[in-house]
Amino acid sequence: MPARLIESLSTTEPLADLFSDSSVLQAMLDFESALARAEARLGILPQKAAAAIAAAAKAEGFDTAALARGILRAGTPGFPLVKMLTDRVREANAGAAGFVHWGATSQDVADTAIVLLLKRAQPVLESDLSRLDSALQRISAEHDDSVMLGRTLLQPAPPVTFGLKAAGWLAAIRRSRTSLSAAFSDALLLQFGGASGTLASLGEQGIAVGKALAEELDLEFPDAPWHTQRDRLAKLICACGVLTGSLGKMARDIALLMQGEVQEAAEPGGDGRGGSSTMPHKRNPIGCALTLAAAQRVPGMVATFLSAMVQEHERGVGGWQVEWPTIAGAIQSTGVAVASMAEVAEGLSVDTARMRANIEATRGAVFAEKATMLLGKKMGRGPAHKILEEAGRESRTQERHLAEVLAEKRELAGELDVEALNHLEVPEEYLGSAHEFRARLLSSGKAYRSSGKKD
């Protein structure tokens, strides 16, 4: 794994490789070689010069440590890169060296390189999102009828189904996925504007070169250079923030369900996953932990990027320079969250017997609302609520079922019949529209993802 040890909990192997020094360097060199080819096609520079530049624009053999030092001194990746590339071209073809970076500016190199990396990152994220989607669809279908405690403010509440809970996770992730896909589409644009964003150095051929360059790199050609207009990239980083938040919500739920006192679900373990160095019995929620960590990192990156949007005139001072590590961090954090939750969902074990046992352990307390509604029809909601508060206290202190306590209350004689009491604590009979909501969530999620909006 090419990630540094200190970053090993914040990325995945494919994304660490994508944002490695050699990959970032090659993306910048790809811009330079594509620019030379585009300009040669238009007769602006000789074909031999373009061939020499393309041949030299290979990351192998470049001193990345020296390049990093040069970038720090220059405040931009483009200037020291162009100097290194020009020196390398000169060794093979002195005449071609003068055509390196013809008509471009440093920010063109840096911005287009990050766009090329984003283009390669998108299918990595999409692959793991597809895995997660399939796994959650399966879980929701399998557990449409699996009753479990609802929990509000971390306290027991009337029952829900695990199928509904999984559908809620999936629908939110699908909405976020749609937004992320749209943001990627908007952001994958060539940056090519020259010194002040007018391509004046190329005269009347500026737009033609830009279109040819975009074609070489398989990127969209924008209406105009976007040197200090960072809204498209900002939308992408914001979409990462929302997606990691949705993934974090799922991770938080599963981590809570894994607690020893709950034990209703568990992410997969084994092969070094979830163990403890001192407590052999433990099965820790590692995938959830990695996702929650990402969900805590990315909002700060979103805030950083939004702050950096306020850039000066035609070239930013500080705002642009903050973007590379912010973008790389946000994409990698999003990637590790998606991959982690895909692994969790694919191997999630669900204990439906424990779910039912946890409902029964409340001795019917979670059905107090149901009893209040039944009694309220006859005596009014206020009096019914007061009686149920008292009955609930007796149920807890006496460790008896709520239905049993209610059956003994004289003031309720004739108000709740035997059949109603016998069925009071049956969770399947107090699910309301859970099944319909589950189906609607899955259906609307598909419609949202395919069309970009709800029907």
**Which residues form the catalytic set?**
276, 315
3-state secondary structure of 265: strand
Distances (CA, A) of 411 to 155, 241, 388, 391, 402: 29, 55, 12, 12, 15
What region does 161 belong to: left with phi over 0, alpha with psi -120 to 50, or beta? beta
Please list the residues that pair with 156 across neighbouring strands: 151
Residue 282 dihedral angles phi and psi, to the nearest 5°: -80, 150
Residue spans of alpha helices (H) in 188-230 = 206-217
What length is written for the chain?
Answer: 455
Q: Which helix (H) or strand (E) holds 181?
A: helix 162-187
For 27, the token pair is 């993306």
Pick from 408, 302, 428: nearest CA to 356: 428
Please list the residues that pair with 148 across neighbouring strands: 160
* CA dist., res. 104 & res. 120, Å (int): 23
Pick from 258, 253, 278: nearest CA to 269: 258
For 33, the token pair is 């070689």
Task: Please name the amino acid found at residue 64.
Answer: T
Pick from 169, 177, 173: nearest CA to 143: 169
Q: Which helix (H) or strand (E) holds 435?
A: helix 434-451
Rounded-to-10 torsion of CA 267, 269, 272, 275: 80
* CA dist., res. 93 & res. 87, Å (int): 10
Q: Are 265 and 257 in contact (CB under 8 A)?
A: yes
For the chain, state the CA radius of gyration.
30
Q: What is the DSSP letter of 146?
A: -
Residue 161 dihedral angles phi and psi, to the nearest 5°: -115, 150
Pick from 319, 329, 418, 423: nearest CA to 367: 423
Our measurement of the distance from residue 19's CA atom to the centroid of its chain's CA atoms, rounded to an integer in Å, reads: 17
